[in-house]
Amino acid sequence: MKRLGIILSLLCLVLVSGCTAQESDSHEKVIRIAEQYGIAYAPVQIIKDQGLLEKNCPGVQVTWEQMSNSTVIREAMVSDKLDVGFMAIPPFLIGWDNGMDWKIATGLSSVPTGLVAKDEIQSLQDIKSSDRIALPQPGSVQHILLAMACQKEFNDPQKMDNILVTLSHPDGMNALLAGNDITAHFTSTPYLETELATAGYHEILTGKEAFGGDFSFIVGVTTKKLHDESPEVYEAFKESVAEAIQFINDHPEEAAEILTKYYDYSKEDIFTYLTAEDTEYSPTVKGIRKFSDFMNETNYLKKSTTDIGEVVWENTADAEY
Amino acid sequence: MQNIKAIFNKSYSKYIWIVIILIVWEAVAKLTPVSPLVFPSLELIGAALLNSILTGDILFQMLFSLGLIFVGLIIGVVLSFVMSSLSVISPVFESFVDTCISIFDPLPGIALLPLIILWIGTGTKAILFIIVHSVLWPMILNMTAGFKSIPTIYKKIGQNYEFSSAKIIFKIYIPASLPYLIAGLKIGWARAWRATISAEMIFGASGGIGGIGWYIFNRRVFMDTPGIFAGLVMIVFAGILVEDFFFVKIEEKTVKKWGLS
């Protein structure tokens, strides 16, 4: 009996220690943001560098969490470790479809994205079952854009799904340029430009062609908890994003100078990327409905949005549905 | 108390624990306000599993992974057998193998990934390479330890009968060190699973439908938590099946029968 007592009390200890970890973070004004790197996320670095959140909401405690992809961000937001994340529209919709309590707060950026292939592949038609296409992951915006193009070209959105290889942008670029089995790579700035500058590779599909128009590449998403319980912080967040975007658009050179601290590129390169014709920083959200309808029709989603209010917080004026 | 102890001494005690774990799981899922996205109930997991079996490729993906593991294990067993036999015979080769083990054994296959992508690519060959790498070194360690544990008198008896080196290895070394070989095989089996799942999660469906690691990864990116558990259930199921039928049977037929363990 004594031994049973010891086992039970040990069990209780385990349970109690599991619970205490949840108790912290009772600070009043807190915002936890996922920090990601890349030209598409430039306003995020500007917000951090210029302390815009602290300026717009004095006393706020900002926590920056390093995260590498939208799946991790989504999981962190489900388990209440994160209030704000930046991601493309398709991963956001997948979370929304599965019952996550979150909505889009703001647009962030549109950057060039496209499918780069070896020169012997001239179009999607030339991609055989022995070819391999690298992209960040299934369900990513790159994957959905590819599915959209396959729908148009072959009337079969899943046509390429079994020849995909999941590689991060830098690994995908190395694999493509190594010339082994990866014959095409769906990627974005600045990897896209680097690959296109290499002899023997060319772009066979742009994101715009696949989508059939403009769309927001990255949007800012917040949890219902942040939106409802800390409206002040939420407003400050939106304002900060808008200010950072304004700053990049008005002073691209100064912004490029700041970004050299965060990215491994020269000021000139960053300036070129920031001001490229197809790069646009804007708080307006574009393309939700088209993504949503397409993903629903092709069974990547179980339902589609019927009203913009389901997926965007009250600032619907900022969104082109 | 005695009765309880007697129950847990039986060979089926594993299943009692599994049932207890399942009951606790269901109670947590049902009675606490936890989101099904984080902690799905057993019904949801069961439904996801059934759905994947009936409409999806999960069984074929499982077979694909098992096939890769099987091939990887065979290559690993053959290579480690050759290398440990040679190192038992030749002290020069032994020091070479020792050096290889101290260099490669602590290197996780996943850490080699960027190199593997550049050298081998991302196909089935790359996954096999990672499996063999993760299986080989611990198996060599076990095999040489097994060979070394054999009393020299056994070898001398063999020499007395004028056995050739090959005959000494097959007739004396292998049977006498079988408990070590089986332990090595068990470690290899577990490490092969780890290697396969992590490699598949990264390389995706390299040709065809992919394996069970790709299934789990796909469920994850589409936020289908019950589906993730369905994939895990399949792996656990395969593990228990192999442990309870394959390894237990081998041990009964050999080391237990011979009184080696």
A69: enclosing H helix or E strand: none
Instruction: Please state, in angstroms and rounded to a whole number, the distance separating the CA atoms of residues B205 and A219.
Output: 29
Give yes or no for residue A173 having a pLDDT over 80: yes
Instruction: Please state, in angstroms and rounded to a whole number, the distance separating the CA atoms of residues A71 and A26.
Output: 26
Assess B56–A contact: CB distance below 8 Å, yes or no. Answer: no
> Are β-strands A218-223 and A84-87 bridged in parallel, bridged antiparallel, or unpaired?
antiparallel
Looking at the domain A113-211, which fold is it? D-Maltodextrin-Binding Protein; domain 2 (3.40.190)
pLDDT class of A317 with cuts at 50, 70, 90: low
3-state secondary structure of A48: helix
Q: Residue B95 carries which side chain, given as an amino acid letter? A: S
Q: Do B205 and A99 touch (CB under 8 A)?
A: no
| DSSP-derived secondary structure for A103-136 | EEEEEEEE--EEEEEETT--SGGG--TT-EEEES
Cis omega (within 30 of 0) for bond into A190: yes
Of B120, B223, B224, B225, which to mutate for an interface test with A (greatest number of A Cβ within 10 Å)?
Answer: B223
Q: Do A94 and B203 touch (CB under 8 A)?
A: no
- Chain A's closest residue to B218, CA to CA, is A138
Instruction: Please state, in angstroms and rounded to a whole number, the distance separating the CA atoms of residues A299 and B51.
Output: 15
pLDDT at A13: 66
Q: Residue A71 carries which side chain, given as an amino acid letter? A: T
pLDDT at A307: 84
pLDDT at A79: 87
pLDDT at A198: 92
Q: Residue A10 carries which side chain, given as an amino acid letter? A: L
Q: Which tens digit of pLDDT belongs to each residue from B27-45?
A: 998 888 888 888 899 999 9
Q: pTM above 0.95?
A: no
pLDDT at A102: 93
Judged on CB neighbours under 10 Å (0-12, 13-18, 19+), B254 is middle
Question: What distances in angstroms separate CA A154 from CA A125, A150, B206, one per listed residue?
Answer: 9, 5, 22
Q: Which tens digit of pLDDT belongs to each residue from A20-73?
A: 444 444 447 889 999 888 889 999 999 999 999 999 998 899 999 888 788 889
- What are the structural domains of chain B? 41-258 (1.10.3720.10)
pLDDT at A21: 46
pLDDT at B226: 92
- Chain A's closest residue to B1, CA to CA, is A1
Instruction: Please state, in angstroms and rounded to a whole number, the distance separating the CA atoms of residues B117 and A229.
Output: 47
Judged on CB neighbours under 10 Å (0-12, 13-18, 19+), A132 is buried
pLDDT at A115: 96
Nearest-by-Cβ selection for A78 from B35, B204, B207: B35
pLDDT at B136: 93
Q: Which tens digit of pLDDT belongs to each residue from A207-256?
A: 999 999 899 999 999 999 999 999 999 999 999 999 999 999 999 999 99
pLDDT at B114: 78
| DSSP-derived secondary structure for B106-130 | TS-GGGGHHHHHHHT-SSHHHHHHH
Structure tokens of B145? 């330890």
**CA nearest neighbour of B176 among B73, B82, B260:** B260
Read off the DSSP letter of residue B10: S
Nearest-by-Cβ selection for A94 from B121, B217, B222: B222
> Are β-strands A285-286 and A319-320 bridged in parallel, bridged antiparallel, or unpaired?
parallel
Read off the DSSP letter of residue A97: H
Judged on CB neighbours under 10 Å (0-12, 13-18, 19+), A268 is exposed
3-state secondary structure of A72: helix
Asked if residues A160 and A123 have their Cβ atoms less than 8 Å apart, the reply is no
Q: Do B224 and A98 touch (CB under 8 A)?
A: yes
Flag the least confident range among A163-177, A261-275, B200-214: B200-214
Instruction: Please state, in angstroms and rounded to a whole number, the distance separating the CA atoms of residues B59 and B46.
Output: 15
Q: Which tens digit of pLDDT belongs to each residue from B168-210?
A: 888 888 888 888 888 999 999 999 998 898 888 877 666 567 8
- Chain B's closest residue to A93, CA to CA, is B222
Nearest-by-Cβ selection for B223 from A1, A95, A181: A95
Looking at the domain A28-111+217-320, which fold is it? D-Maltodextrin-Binding Protein; domain 2 (3.40.190)
Instruction: Please state, in angstroms and rounded to a whole number, the distance separating the CA atoms of residues B42 and A159.
Output: 33
Average pLDDT over residues A276-304: 91
**CA nearest neighbour of A89 among A194, A216, A244:** A216
Asked if residues B42 and B24 have their Cβ atoms less than 8 Å apart, the reply is no
Structure tokens of A210? 């696949």
State how far Cα B211 lies from the chain centre: 15
pLDDT at A18: 53
A→B contacts (Cβ < 8 Å), by residue, are: 1, 71, 74, 78-79, 91, 94-95, 97-100, 129, 132, 134, 137-140, 161-167, 171, 174-175, 178, 180-182, 300
Structure tokens of A111? 């950057």
Give yes or no for residue A87 having a pLDDT over 90: yes
| DSSP-derived secondary structure for A175-238 | HHHHTSSEEEEEEETTHHHHHHTSTTEEEEEEHHHHHTS---SEEEEEEHHHHHH-HHHHHHHH
> pLDDT below 70 — which residues of chain B?
1-2, 204-208, 261
Task: List, by residue range, all CATH 3.40.190.10 domains of chain A.
Answer: 28-111+217-320, 113-211
Flag the least confident range among A118-122, A152-156, A168-172, B12-16: B12-16
Nearest-by-Cβ selection for A139 from B35, B207, B221: B221
Asked if residues A189 and A67 have their Cβ atoms less than 8 Å apart, the reply is no
ipTM (interface predicted TM): 0.76
